[in-house]
Structure 1
Amino acid sequence: MHIDLLAPEPFARNDFWSTLAWLRANSPVYRHPEPDGPGFWALSRYHDIVRVYADSDTFSSAQGMRLGSEPAAVAAVANRMLIVSDAPHHTRLKRALHQAFAPGRMPRVERMVNDVVRDLVDEAEQRGELDFIDLAKQLPNRVVCAMMGIPRADWSWIGQLTTEAFDSPDENVRSTAHSEIFLYFIDLLNRRRAEPGDDLVSEIAHQSRVTELDGTDRPLTDEEIVFNCNGVLSGANETTRYSAAGAVHMFARHPDQWRLLREGGSQAVGPAVEEVLRWTTPGVHALRTVTRDTEIGGVPIAAGDKVTLWNVSANRDEAVFADPHLFLADRRPNRHIAFGHGRHLCLGAHLARLELSALLRELAPRLDGFELAGPVVFNSSNFTWGITSIPVRLRLARNVTGTSPLAV
């Protein structure tokens, strides 16, 4: 079988799944060639991938976290940006940033999420027919921009920049978008240092502190704040956008699963959200660099080698998930790794779950279902992947009040 995980066309066609299934069955630790490089290892089985995520001493993130990264750009943020750092830097940074997501802030965030979702679903219901990606991309963007205190006039522009920074196939476009985001946050940080507000940037700038190895505390540097605000922005936007659109895609194709959710009441939302995350897995792969000679699945791996972890494959692994190629809204258990695993579990995982849960709770009482009204389009990225267009007609419930147990 011809294997090319670098080719964009299979991702744009949504037909790369058979390649990953073949790798799981025949070559789970596969040496993948590169046109202009030494090649890399591709891991496709769940347990191999989880093992690598858990061993950050042997498998480093600090030399890049995706295929195609520009080495100079990686070096500029290494050990100062959460996703491209190793312990002890990663541990200290994550602990400091977690302070801004402390439980005391969550009730306010949850109210904000519910308000945003209600407004968006009201707009969608009035239209009746829409490209659902328009709603899906506004949900996380409105929430995270509001959390950060970004002026509303900038929300749309920030959302577009975030997509370009992580999804564009052109390295120059990605680099330029990242630079513009960094410059924007530098200006925003300067304003929040002078005039703090009740927002995430102010919280990180004035309250979050890093504990050094000698036990002393220090504030986060400007670079650490700017780099990680970019990370929060991108993580919050991309995962929820693609998962929300993917949810509607599957519920439109499988109306029995939508009925199952609507009839299951509030207890049905949690499992449905986890299945949406497993099924969509917007974070397609992660990259690690080997720090010392090792082995994976009995295959020798040399220090300096690049190892890629294909989360999308792990989440369809037949050894872990029963009927992995079926979308089952009530799937239990569901030990997916859509947010990664171990130390590098996504900082925004809780927020993404809040957003997706609020969306399903708001849609279920109002809609009997979804009808696809045009072709579904996917992007061509092997890093952050999902639907970019999904025209749908909303089938409104005949009696909205009390139609579903989720309405109460």
Structure 2
Amino acid sequence: MSAGPKIPPDLAATIVDPLAYGAWQPLLDAYATLRREAPIALAEIPGYRPFWVVTRHADILKISKDNTTFLNNPATVVLAPIMAEMFVAHLMNGSPHLVKSLVQMDAPEHPKYRRLTQDWFMPANLKTIEANIRTIAKASVDKMLAMGGECDFARDVASMYPLHVVMELLGVPESDEPLMLKLTQELFGGQDPDLNRTRAVQMSAEEATKIMAQTVADFNAYFEAMAQDRRANPRQDLATIIATGMIDGAPIPDYESAGYYTIVATAGHDTTSASTAGAMWALAQDPEQFAKVKADRTLLPGLIEEAIRWTTPVQHFMRTVAADTEIGGVSMKAGDWLMLCYISGNYDESVFPEPERFDATRSPNRHISFGSGAHQCLGLHLARLEMKILFEELLDRLDSVELAGEPKRSQSTFVGGPKTLPLRFKAA
């Protein structure tokens, strides 16, 4: 590992603590200190391999665009303790990945797999399903209004609406959507006692990884059966594209096929759910901003981008240095491990004035929530369209919204967002 500036132990402990992500403000404060005093520095934390922590927007963007020097595949792309890394390597016969999806691939493999489904997520194709998405959005708002003036927006609306959209695209029957939601929450919320598989408050790294492996096994079993069905009975859905896809003239191997299904099924809805709940959270605590957006729908695209920035559902990714390099005046060696802190980049004062303030009129809004470069989020156009349609329907039919209790974020260092959002509302 390269030598360089080191992060103070208290700040290093904060950025790996799920409780800090749930509390949010301690995490924002820690990142603000790092951006100011040690924007690229080494974290040496008991139980973890040393890793660089990258907190400035410009540095994160530069690394994200350089997919030759900074790789996804050689090591886990999600921060994990040494014991968890060792357990996965043992379980997966040396691979660092429980799941191998687009996220865990580098060129030349990555672009080949990405091209299989890319067209499905482009604006031209999304126009063909826009009416169906609006039907789903209307039904979601109907359900909310039928609750009599109060709901948990995160649970009752934000989690279910994008789930239904992406499951229809994928070809998962509506009756299986609760299972997909449960498994997704277990996968991304493995550190949260309200979301993980056993509801345990404390687990060792090995215990948590074992439980996550069980969730992955459930996903694999479900999608293996779906792939077999689609090969025998092809349909016009994403499941068929993956099941019958060819890479270099051969069918997609089972490991990669299972990972493809899982990333579409999980990231395809959970991150949009988080941003949707984040937008409503902001509007519920700012009646003036709610009134402005309701009166002027040209502000809606800005509201969506600001919600995606302010919430930052994908909170970090790890990268591995392929060749000796220098970033931000810090030298790194081949094999070094680094953490791209997207929350910090999205709250960088040099790019976003008053970053903790939610501002639907913020312009420009160069957030990095979707990543950049070859690994930019495949579903970004779908996410924006889903949010736009839902908030058009919500703003048409709501007269006011306010918090009816204390919202809570998930206790997760990887993918997170509001897990409860109690709302009181009046119909228009």
TM-score computed with the length of structure 2 as normaliser: 0.87
Aligned twin of 1:95 = 115
SS at match of 1:335: coil
Q: Percent identity?
A: 34
SS at match of 1:354: helix
1:329 to 334, 357, 360: 360
SS at match of 2:323: coil
Q: Is the 8 A contact 1:29 1:44 kept in 2?
A: yes
CA separation in 1, counterparts of 2:122 and 2:310?
Answer: 29
Aligned twin of 2:328 = 297
Q: Is the 8 A contact 1:132 1:389 kept in 2?
A: yes
Aligned twin of 2:173 = 151
Please tell me whether residue 220 in structure 1 is matched to residue 227 in structure 2: no
Aligned twin of 2:70 = 59
CA separation in 2, counterparts of 1:136 and 1:13?
Answer: 20
Aligned twin of 1:32 = 43
Q: Is the 8 A contact 1:262 1:364 kept in 2?
A: yes
| CA offset digits 1:186-223 (Å, max 9, x no partner) | 000100110112221113334x444x4xxxx5553443
Aligned twin of 2:230 = 192
Point out 4+ residue stretches in structure 1 off by more than 4 angstroms: 76-80
Aligned twin of 1:83 = 103
Aligned twin of 2:19 = 9
CA separation in 1, counterparts of 2:264 and 2:31?
Answer: 29
SS at match of 1:34: coil
Q: CA deviation at 1:102?
A: 5.0
1:140 to 149, 162, 182: 162
Q: CA deviation at 1:325?
A: 2.0
Give the counterpart letter for 1:95 in structure 2: R
CA separation in 1, counterparts of 2:295 and 2:123?
Answer: 31
Q: CA deviation at 1:40?
A: 0.8
CA separation in 1, counterparts of 2:255 and 2:19?
Answer: 36
SS at match of 1:388: strand
Counterparts of 1:156-167 in structure 2, within 5 Å, are: 156-167=178-189
Counterparts of 1:7-406 in structure 2, within 5 Å, are: 7-15=17-25, 16-62=27-73, 63-68=75-80, 70=85, 71-72=88-89, 73=92, 75=95, 81-103=101-123, 105-127=125-147, 128-134=149-155, 135-169=157-191, 170-206=208-244, 208-210=245-247, 212=248, 217-265=249-297, 267-397=298-428
CA separation in 2, counterparts of 1:102 and 1:396?
Answer: 34
Q: Is the 8 A contact 1:79 1:90 kept in 2?
A: no
Change (3 A) 1:27 1:347: same
Change (3 A) 1:220 1:102: farther
Change (3 A) 1:78 1:130: closer
Q: CA deviation at 1:108?
A: 3.3
Q: Is the 8 A contact 1:367 1:394 kept in 2?
A: yes
Q: CA deviation at 1:34?
A: 2.2
Q: Is the 8 A contact 1:251 1:369 kept in 2?
A: no
Give the counterpart letter for 2:291 in structure 1: R
Q: Is the 8 A contact 1:59 1:291 kept in 2?
A: yes
SS at match of 2:77: coil
Higher mean C-alpha deviation, range 98-107 or range 110-119: 98-107
| CA offset digits 1:84-120 (Å, max 9, x no partner) | 0111111111122214435553223322221111101
Structure 2: which 5+ residue stretches go unaligned? 1-7, 192-207
Aligned length: 390
CA separation in 2, counterparts of 1:10 and 1:153?
Answer: 36
Give the counterpart letter for 1:46 in structure 2: H
CA separation in 2, counterparts of 1:101 and 1:209?
Answer: 19
CA separation in 2, counterparts of 1:156 and 1:78?
Answer: 23
CA separation in 1, counterparts of 2:44 and 2:100?
Answer: 31
Give the counterpart letter for 2:142 in structure 1: D
SS at match of 2:357: coil
Q: CA deviation at 1:226?
A: 2.1
Q: Is the 8 A contact 2:122 2:381 kept in 1?
A: no
